[in-house]
């Protein structure tokens, strides 16, 4: 038997229904959505626009406000780097974000810092969330953008994005939300949210890898954002290149299923979490992140005096888990998220993230307890 996959925050399995929706566009329909001279191109264009509408419906947005990208990383880059020219032209070069953002946000911000922009990263509480007042204190007349993730990918802690939106309402400051971990999950909250830019990803909601989108609010955001790649007029001139029709169809289908099923998925994930936390019992552990703010499908836990690399090695035949962001796992370094929360180094070193979704009935506690027992006996050292 293969190990049970419990790394849904890195990437969720593809829904077979989504694969069925995509399959004709891989095997039977060769058309380019940009081709206007024949029926194949028209069908491809219609399929893309249908998918765009399905994504927009989950956000409560208009179809024309959805720009397809290769994923949330590209969406984050477009949302941030695409504002550089506007910031220079208007003299608004102040940017605000938080210390726990994904590298797809932190690194584009750092690039703007090299161009003379001033970047401020608000600190977070030990519970893993930014206090909205930390954002309020930093907003200035020359603040171009505030970027705050909706939920942290490592801890699952939801951030106060609605409060931040209220703070920015009525100002000229644009608000970007990285919703890679919440699109199709925190559906009601995203539909209520008043912001200008939202990054989403397909493979977090049982869709295909390699497709995502950026919501760009009409008027204010569309006037400010500029393309960061060039070579065609696709996607309202903001994102050139041939659209991957099959992937767009897959994202649309995944969004549609998420919109219909998010409540039942939430209930299922909550049951799994409650049982997992009860089973952990007195195993000598600390939960990382304010649990009242955590999403129901993820637990970040540190085991006492245990190195996360060691426990993952022992668990690898039974459970597939991680100890940080998949985007920075090629060479492991201590989590910048847990460090920003002020956790002690031993606790950071022992942190493991369990994340699940559809198809996972329970987190098996037996292999975890056995691995902990083995490590405490000194049977394995890393």
Catalytic pick among 195, 294, 327, 374? 327
Q: In whole angstroms, what is the distance from residue 9 CA to residue 222 CA?
A: 30
Specify whether 327 is catalytic. yes
What does residue 176 show for φ and ψ, rounded to 5 degrees? -110, 135
Residues 6 or more apart from 235 whose CB is under 8 A from it? 67, 68, 243
CB atoms within 10 A of CB 369: 14
- Reported as half-sphere exposure (CB side, CA atoms, 13 A), residue 129 has a value of 21
**Total residues found in the chain within this entry:** 382
C-alpha distances out from residue 238 to 46, 92, 115, 213, Å:
20, 21, 21, 12
Query: Residue 8 CA to chain centroid, in angstroms?
Result: 11
Q: In whole angstroms, what is the distance from residue 122 CA to residue 135 CA?
A: 7
Catalytic residues: 327
């Amino acid at each position: 038997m293969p190990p049970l996959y419990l790394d849904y925050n890195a990437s969720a399995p593809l829904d077979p229904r989504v694969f069925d929706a995509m399959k004709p566009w891989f095997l039977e329909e060769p058309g380019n959505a940009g081709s206007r001279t024949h029926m194949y191109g028209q069908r491809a264009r219609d399929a893309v626009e249908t998918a765009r509408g399905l994504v927009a419906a989950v956000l409560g947005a208009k179809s024309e406000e959805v720009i397809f990208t290769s994923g949330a990383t590209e969406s984050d880059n477009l949302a941030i780097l695409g504002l550089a020219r506007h910031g220079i032209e208007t003299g608004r070069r102040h940017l605000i974000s938080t210390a726990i953002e994904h590298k797809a946000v932190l690194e584009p911000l750092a690039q703007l810092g090299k161009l003379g922009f001033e970047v401020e990263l608000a600190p977070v509480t030990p519970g893993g969330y930014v206090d909205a007042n930390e954002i309020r204190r930093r907003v200035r007349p020359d603040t171009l953008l505030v970027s705050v993730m909706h939920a942290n990918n490592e801890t699952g802690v939801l951030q106060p994005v609605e409060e931040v939106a209220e703070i920015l309402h009525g100002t000229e400051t644009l608000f970007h939300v990285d919703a890679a971990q919440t699109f199709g999950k925190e559906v009601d909250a995203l539909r209520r949210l008043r912001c200008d830019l939202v990054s989403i990803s397909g493979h977090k909601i049982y869709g295909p890898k390699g497709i995502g989108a950026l919501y760009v609010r009409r008027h204010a955001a569309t006037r400010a954002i500029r393309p960061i790649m060039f070579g065609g007029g696709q996607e309202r001139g903001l994102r050139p290149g041939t659209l991957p029709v099959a992937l767009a169809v897959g994202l649309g289908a995944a969004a549609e299923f998420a919109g219909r099923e998010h409540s039942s998925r939430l209930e299922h994930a909550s049951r799994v979490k409650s049982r997992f936390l009860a089973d952990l019992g007195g195993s000598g552990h600390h939960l990382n992140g304010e649990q009242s703010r955590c999403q129901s499908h993820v637990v970040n836990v540190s085991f006492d005096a245990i190195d996360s690399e060691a426990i993952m090695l022992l668990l690898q035949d039974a459970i597939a888990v991680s100890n940080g962001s998949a985007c920075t796992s090629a060479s492991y370094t201590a989590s910048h998220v847990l460090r920003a929360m002020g956790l002690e180094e031993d606790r950071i070193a022992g942190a493991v993230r369990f994340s699940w979704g559809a198809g996972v009935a329970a987190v098996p506690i037996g292999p975890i307890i056995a691995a902990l027992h083995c490590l405490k006996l000194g049977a394995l050292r890393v």
